Amino acid sequence: MRSPIAAEGLPFIAGFVGVAVAGEIFCPSWFGSLLLWVLSGWCVWFFRDPERQPPPGEGLVIAPADGKVIAIEEVAAAPLSGKPARKCSIFMNVFSVHVNRCPISGQVTDLAYHPGRFFNAALDKASLENERMAILVTAPDGVAITFVQVAGLIARRIICRLQVGEGVVQGDRFGLIRFGSRVDVYLPLSAKLAVMLGDQTRAGETVVAQLESPQ
């Protein structure tokens, strides 16, 4: 049975619990103990990894992250593919599930890590200036989707488990970003958007767009 907690979070959870236990022993205080145990509980909640089931249907692009749609705009060239695209940005706050999932099935055809700054991930410039990991997945019908994990003001660690040449299935877990961040999805201009600004998404379940059927 799969753990409901992301493995990457276990060291953090152990650290928080260890501090809480030490506080109980060496600095007993009801307020201090309560605060430390609340923080430990929040850490467990942050690294939760619930099961998700993508909806059935052909040509669907599924949200790679839980959060809020904060930007939808056309760009001249998507990262890695270099093609005109419509960018849909999903912002994850510290209360969101931070496990990221593949928006489509296919093959990982390119990866690119970019070191950078740590601006608030909700800002437009974060997509270009923050630390980020870009992933290009090409579907069997040739449609390519780029999605980018973007670090934020507090999030300083991007985890991406994918490798070039690897096959992925829509909804598969592929990584996470710790403590607040965003994921940008670059869609073909022909794709029909299924979300609007302000919408809430669930990774692996919410339909972001419907791809145009191949001719």
The predicted pLDDT at position 180 comes to 62
pLDDT at position 206: 97
Q: Which residues contact 137 (CB under 8 A, 6 or more apart)?
A: 102, 103, 104, 106, 107, 108, 109, 144, 145, 147, 168
> What does the pLDDT read at residue 31?
74
d(CA 62, CA 55): 9
Catalytic residue among 127, 181, 190, 213: 181
Instruction: Tell me what pLDDT residue 174 has.
Output: 94
For the chain, what are the domain ranges?
7-46, 60-210
- Is 40 tagged catalytic? no
pTM for the complete prediction?
0.85
Q: Which CATH architecture group holds 60-210? A: Distorted Sandwich (2.70)
Q: Mean pLDDT of residues grouped by 10 in the chain (215 residues)?
A: 76 81 76 80 81 90 95 95 95 87 96 79 71 94 93 73 96 84 93 96 96 70
